A and B are shown apart, each in its own frame.
Chain A
Amino acid sequence: MITCYADWIRAGKLKVNPDWNTDRKVKFTVQDPCQLVRKTFGDPVAEDLRFVVKAVVGEENFIDMVPNRSNNYCCGGGGGFLQSGFAEARRQYGRLKYDQIIDTKADYCITPCHNCHAQIHDLAEHNGGHYHTVHLWTLICLSMGILGENERVYLGPDLAEVAMP
């Protein structure tokens, strides 16, 4: 799906625009899903992911974690960990990812994978982190001014009413 987003933006079919964030300067980082990047399509899809994110939130408002792309750390949401019953171990595992996100000082972590989304969202709640966890589709629609009222569950109060249709 990420490659499709990038292709459609390049082709001018999705008219995304980062202007909504030029003055707000809300900062975003992105989680490279292991399954999508390291295990399947490699760094090219990680580049597409960054292309889309920057086109949507503004290049100057994107902060990468280190390490990243194919060399990223798993968040701990994969492999069935979320359903395995080992919640304490899962959160201990995720501490590395949590610290990486916090180090970016980003307000939002974009997670284009369901397992990553659930785990990174839980890591913020568990550790008292102040970042929000969002899917990429939310921000693509926000940047086109078409994100409806009921589609903003994962946005923080800062963006709850930004670029309403």
Chain B
Amino acid sequence: MNTAIELEKAPTSRFKDKVMELLPEGGNLNACLTCGACAAGCPASGLENMDPRKLLRMAALGMDDELLSTDWCWMCSMCQRCIYVCPMQIDIPQLVFQIRKSHPRGERPKGIINSCDMALRNDTCSAMGATEEDWRFVVEDVADEVRESQAGFEDLQVPMDKSGATYFLNQNSREPVTEPDEMIPLWKILHLAGADWTYGSKGWAAENYCLFAADEENWEKIVRTKAKAVDDLGCKVWLNTE
């Protein structure tokens, strides 16, 4: 029997009430019908002997110590399928996010925190630490090679910091850092479509691990850095890559 469902303890700090104050409509956290539609379709059900319905019941019962200590909050991907199937639209993923946030930063998973910290080092926002120079170099290098070696793409353009372009395209750091040739098919598509697009030397990295780290201040900082890069170039559409 999981100790997490022992009911002897009296409600203490009521974490749930604090979360409800933060969410529109209180995230409907008091509206659960206990139907189990969330748990039935959640791939994380069973991990750490937990599931979304159980998590919400624990919150409702004021089992805050157990609620705040489970690693399950890192095993829920906050995919929102539970909300999608819930007849009451209960925002369990936001409850999970707030549980993540309640963990001291130093005790959150190192991999996520390190990726967040890395992204804060440069205006590129790259969680893999790619600098503006790295990025410009790899893009130009790969583009040169395509122009030289691939028939029909002698005029391939890979614009960087082109003011007023319609699309500001971002790119996951994995491509420039570990598999740059994977960018080529995308460039060819944009070229053939005649798209008016550009990369930016700043704010180009698509990922934002500070969100996953539940580091709201730095999550916002990264979003603002990226949005500023788009605005500074006067681009109309911030286009997220595949």
Contact of B185 among A71, A93, A137 (CB under 8 A): A137
Contact of B109 among A4, A80, A94, A96 (CB under 8 A): A80
Closest chain-B Cβ to A101's Cβ sits at a distance in Å of: 13
Closest chain-A Cβ to B13's Cβ sits at a distance in Å of: 26
Closest chain-A Cβ to B30's Cβ sits at a distance in Å of: 24
Asked if residues B185 and A89 are in contact (CB atoms below 8 Å), the reply is: no
Among residues 111 to 159 in chain A, which have CB atoms less than 8 Å away from a CB atom of chain B?
112-114, 118, 135-138, 140-141, 144, 146-148, 150-151, 153
State the A residues within 8 Å of B (CB).
1-2, 4-5, 8, 13-15, 34, 38-39, 67, 70-74, 76-81, 83-86, 89-90, 92-97, 112-114, 118, 135-138, 140-141, 144, 146-148, 150-151, 153, 165
> Which of B14-22, B131-139, B157-165, B191-199 sits within the interface?
B191-199
State the B residues within 8 Å of A (CB).
41, 43-44, 46-48, 71, 74-81, 84-85, 109-112, 114-115, 146, 150-153, 167, 172, 174, 179, 181-182, 184-186, 188-189, 192-195, 206-207, 209, 212-213, 239-242
Asked if residues B79 and A93 are in contact (CB atoms below 8 Å), the reply is: no
Instruction: Give the complex CA separation of A146 and B174 in angstroms.
Output: 23
Asked if residues B182 and A135 are in contact (CB atoms below 8 Å), the reply is: yes
Instruction: Give the complex CA separation of A97 and B44 in angstroms.
Output: 12
Asked if residues A34 and B81 are in contact (CB atoms below 8 Å), the reply is: yes
Asked if residues A112 and B242 are in contact (CB atoms below 8 Å), the reply is: yes
Instruction: Give the complex CA separation of A147 and B153 in angstroms.
Output: 12
Supposing A85-B111, A93-B75, A96-B43 touch, asked if A140 and B81 sit within 8 A by C-beta, the answer is no
In addition to A4-B193, A85-B110, 17 A-B residue pairs with Cβ atoms within 8 Å of each other are: A13-B192, A71-B84, A79-B212, A80-B112, A83-B115, A86-B109, A93-B43, A93-B75, A94-B43, A113-B242, A114-B206, A141-B188, A141-B189, A150-B181, A150-B184, A151-B184, A153-B182
Contact of A2 among B43, B109, B242 (CB under 8 A): B242
12 intermolecular pairs with C-beta atoms under 8 Å apart: A38-B84, A70-B84, A71-B81, A73-B41, A113-B242, A114-B206, A118-B174, A135-B185, A138-B185, A141-B185, A146-B188, A148-B181
Instruction: Give the complex CA separation of A121 and B181 in angstroms.
Output: 18
Asked if residues A147 and B185 are in contact (CB atoms below 8 Å), the reply is: yes
Q: Which chain A positions have C-beta within 8 A of B186?
A: 137
Asked if residues A148 and B74 are in contact (CB atoms below 8 Å), the reply is: no
Asked if residues B209 and A83 are in contact (CB atoms below 8 Å), the reply is: yes
Closest chain-A Cβ to B240's Cβ sits at a distance in Å of: 6
Q: Which chain B positions have C-beta within 8 A of A135?
A: 182, 185, 242
Instruction: Give the complex CA separation of A94 and B151 in angstroms.
Output: 41
Asked if residues B188 and A4 are in contact (CB atoms below 8 Å), the reply is: no
Asked if residues B77 and A74 are in contact (CB atoms below 8 Å), the reply is: yes
Asked if residues A78 and B185 are in contact (CB atoms below 8 Å), the reply is: no
Supposing A92-B47, A113-B242 touch, asked if A78 and B109 sit within 8 A by C-beta, the answer is no
Q: Which chain A positions have C-beta within 8 A of B78?
A: 78-79
